[in-house]
Amino acid sequence: MAERKLRVFLDANVLIRGVTLPRFPYEVLWHAARRDFVPVFSPLVLASARLYVRELFPKHVEDLELLLASLPGEIVPNPAPEDVAAHSDLVRDAKDIPVALAAISANVDYLVTTDRDFTDLDETTAELRRYLKPVRVGTFLHEMMGWTHEQLSAVEQRRWEDLERAFWIRDLKE
């Protein structure tokens, strides 16, 4: 019997940082492209990533679109506005509630993010952690993808010049 792959909800910041800087989020996306886990997104997350990249990193718009076209995965529905309103105490930043609810409804194994509003281990995330396992990108790479501390250190300060080309470009050309 085939082993069930992890289903991992990726926050917009993982997409944004993954296409603009080749560090931990880039590597999470590389694992998704390799089908090491099933990436899960909501329409809101995809729209947020596209908007943010278009407005702040316009030279990376094509990179984001190439990446998204190459990723396997699932798109789950956004929560209904009344559900968002009913869960105002789920996370400390109200704009994160639809992301959290989409991940919870999708019954994913993890929510991977760089947003401390999800990952801080304090009373502001206690309710969220009852339903979901939010983890930072470095923790995900280390604990779920098996990266060593040495591997993490090797990409911690990496720049685009250190790579021949982004994996979504390399893999499309090969």
One digit per residue, pLDDT tens: the chain, 174 residues?
567 899 999 999 999 999 999 999 999 999 999 999 999 999 999 999 999 999 999 999 999 999 999 898 999 999 999 999 999 889 989 999 999 999 999 999 999 999 999 999 888 888 899 999 999 999 999 999 999 999 999 999 999 999 988 998 876 544
pTM for the predicted model, two decimal places: 0.94
Domain ranges of the chain: 12-173
- Does the structural domain 12-173 have CATH classification 3.40.50.1370? no
pLDDT at 3: 78
pLDDT at 174: 47
DSSP assignment of 84-124 equals: HHHTTTSSSSGGGHHHHHHHHHTT-SEEEES-HHHH--STT
pLDDT at 87: 93
Q: Is the dihedral of CA 127, 125, 26, 57 positive or negative?
A: positive
pLDDT at 172: 52
d(CA 84, CA 97): 6
